[in-house]
Amino acid sequence: MVSDHAFPGQLERRARLFKAAAETQGHVAFPERWTQKLLQLIASDETLTTIDDRFLNNDDLPRWVRAKGLSKVYHRDHVVVRVALAIEREIQPDLLMVYLKGIDALSHVFWASVEPSNLYPPQLRPSPSGRKAGAKTLRKYYEYTDELIGVLMRRYASDDLVMIVSDHGFEAGVTGTTLPGIHESEKAIDGVVFARGPGLPRGLTAGFLKVSDVTPTILAWLGLPVAEDMDGAPAPFLNVERVERIATYDTHAIERMGGGSSGAEEEILEELQALGYIE
């Protein structure tokens, strides 16, 4: 398990915050021996895709775009896949879950570039050049994410279950201070699910699935019981003869940390500013 704090910038801020030996700051990975390996993976300059960072030194982007923050989003997705590959290669877990947040971040910022301008107030309508640059950047980021997913999928055989899940879409609208991409209506709330694995029919439309169906689907695929108190159910496209049931998995108290600074606040604020949530 890898913490959200295992990224460049946040690690340095943790060190400044605690001003103590590394072992007193807590670890950012479990097992703990992976902490040092994470630092090496973060520092690596290994390139996984053919698409470079399009944010820094890009004069075509509108001046209001916080390029530095979006560049960090790009590199974080790269680091996440680099770490995922190392976990798959060295641990070979039964279940690997990878979260790439870049498309969500970029869509919030550039969605007006792919929607009709009359859907926005005049002050939020991009110029023709800004619209062209924004649309190109957004589409290129989808290609970049597709390449990252392709790198991950090359690790899996035909008898592995692979699911690609997006929990919502996007639509024209304004939220925060300047964000032109939102997901509030029934049309945009729907996401997508792609699945591939043994016994799954080719070309079949999965039908209506909910985010809460993902966990029961994975449990059923692994031959583990699905809890009765779960909101979702296994996806109907699974070729599973029998789904076992238990009352609940919620049998242990959750230990929670107390309040206080995590050391990542500056990084989070910078990203929120880059995405337009705050000024």
CB atoms within 10 A of CB 55: 22
pLDDT tens string 37-70: 888 888 888 899 999 898 877 888 877 788 888 8
**Is 223 inside a domain boundary?**
no
> In this predicted structure, what is the pLDDT of residue 22?
47
**Is 273 inside a domain boundary?**
no
Query: In the beta sheet, which residues pair with residue 195?
Result: 163
**Is 100 inside a domain boundary?**
yes
**Is 232 inside a domain boundary?**
no
Residue 31 has pLDDT above 70, yes or no: yes
Q: Are 246 and 227 a contacting pair, CB within 8 Å? A: yes
> In this predicted structure, what is the pLDDT of residue 188?
83
pLDDT tens string 173-205: 876 666 678 888 887 888 888 999 888 888 888
Q: What is the distance between the alpha carbons of residues 131 and 172, in angstroms, rounded to a whole number?
A: 14
Q: What is the distance between the alpha carbons of residues 220 and 217, in angstroms, rounded to a whole number?
A: 5
pTM for this model (two decimals): 0.81
**Is 226 inside a domain boundary?**
no
CB atoms within 10 A of CB 105: 21
What percentage of the chain exceeds 70 in pLDDT?
Answer: 80
Of 1-5, 30-34, 191-195, 262-266, where does the model show the most confidence?
191-195
Where in the sequence is the domain holding 82, given as residue range(s)? Answer: 8-197
Residue 145 has pLDDT above 90, yes or no: yes
Q: What is the distance between the alpha carbons of residues 76 and 243, in angstroms, rounded to a whole number?
A: 37
> In this predicted structure, what is the pLDDT of residue 216?
94
**Is 255 inside a domain boundary?**
no
Query: In the beta sheet, which residues pair with residue 165?
Result: 193
| Number of domains comprising the chain | 1
**Is 239 inside a domain boundary?**
no
**Is 13 inside a domain boundary?**
yes
pLDDT tens string 63-97: 778 888 888 889 989 999 999 999 999 889 999 99
Average pLDDT over residues 119-146: 90
Tell me the three state secondary structure of residue 30.
coil
Q: Are 212 and 231 a contacting pair, CB within 8 Å? A: yes
Residue 164 has pLDDT above 80, yes or no: yes
